[in-house]
Amino acid sequence: MNDIRRTILWVIFGFSIVLLWDQWQIHNGRSATFFPSPTATASKPVESANQSSVSAASAEVPQAQQRPAAGAEGGVAAIQAAAQVASSLPRERVSVSTDVLKLTFDTEGGSLVHSEFLRHHESHDVQAPVVLFDESKDRVYLSQTGLIGGADLPTHKTVMKLVSSERELKDGVDTLTVQFESPISGGVQLLKTYTLKRGSYAVDVKHEVRNVGQDAVSPQLYLQLVRDGNKIPGGSSFYSTFTGPAVYTEAKKYHKVEFGDIEKGKAEFDKESTNGYVAMVQHYFASAWLLADGVQREIFVRKVSNNLYAVGMIAPLQALAPGATRVLDARLFVGPQEEKQLETLAPGLELVKDYGWLTILAKPLYWLLDKLHGLLHNWGWSIVALVVLLKAAFYWLNAKAYASMAKMKAIAPRITEMRERLKDKPQQMQQEMMRIYREEKVNPLGGCLPIMIQIPVFIALYWVLLSSVEMRNAPWILWIKDLSSQDPYYILPLVMTLTTMLQTALNPAPPDPMQAKLMWIMPLVFSVMFFFFPAGLVMYWVTNNVLSIAQQWVINKRMGVPPQFNLPKFR
How many angstroms separate the CA atoms of 484 and 474, rounded? 8
- Output phi, psi for 97, to 5 deg: -145, 150
> Going by C-beta distance under 8 Å and a sequence separation of 6 or more, which residues neighbour residue 144?
57, 109, 111, 156, 223, 224, 225, 226
The pLDDT confidence band at residue 406, using thresholds 50, 70 and 90, is: low
Per-residue buried b or exposed e for 64-89, using 16+ beta carbons within 10 Å of the residue's own CB: bebebbeebebbbbbbbbbbeeebee
Give the single-character DSSP code of 94.
E
The pLDDT confidence band at residue 301, using thresholds 50, 70 and 90, is: very high
Instruction: Tell whether the model's pLDDT for residue 208 goes beyond 90.
Output: yes
Helix (H) or strand (E) holding 43: none
Q: Which is it for the CA torsion 434, 436, 441, 443, positive or negative?
A: negative
The structural domains of the chain, ordered by start, are 95-354 (2.70.98.90), 366-559 (no CATH)
Strand intervals (E) in 184-324: 188-197, 202-211, 220-228, 244-249, 253-256, 272-273, 277-282, 285-291, 297-305, 308-316
| Nearest CA-CA partner of 248 in 169, 350, 398 | 350
Region 136-150 average pLDDT: 91
Residue 145 in contact with residue 224, Cβ under 8 Å?
A: yes
How many angstroms separate the CA atoms of 360 and 459, rounded? 12
| Nearest CA-CA partner of 309 in 367, 347, 260, 254 | 260
pLDDT over 70 percentage in the chain: 70
| Nearest CA-CA partner of 92 in 115, 116, 113, 61 | 113
Instruction: Tell whether the model's pLDDT for residue 474 goes beyond 50.
Output: yes
Tell me the pTM.
Answer: 0.76
pLDDT tens sequence across 26-62: 444 444 433 433 333 333 333 333 443 444 444 332 2
The pLDDT confidence band at residue 313, using thresholds 50, 70 and 90, is: very high
How many angstroms separate the CA atoms of 105 and 111, rounded? 6
The pLDDT confidence band at residue 209, using thresholds 50, 70 and 90, is: very high
What's the distance, CA 88 to chain centroid? 40
How many angstroms separate the CA atoms of 297 and 290, rounded? 11
How many angstroms separate the CA atoms of 112 and 524, rounded? 48
The DSSP result for 480-512, as a single string, is: ---TTS--TT-HHHHHHHHHHHHHHHHSPPPSS
pLDDT at 355: 85
- Output phi, psi for 228, to 5 deg: -75, 165
Instruction: Tell whether the model's pLDDT for residue 266 goes beyond 60.
Output: yes
Per-residue buried b or exposed e for 428-446, using 16+ beta carbons within 10 Å of the residue's own CB: ebeebbeeebeeeebebeb
pLDDT at 457: 81
Residue 457 in contact with residue 390, Cβ under 8 Å?
A: yes
Give the single-character DSSP code of 28.
T
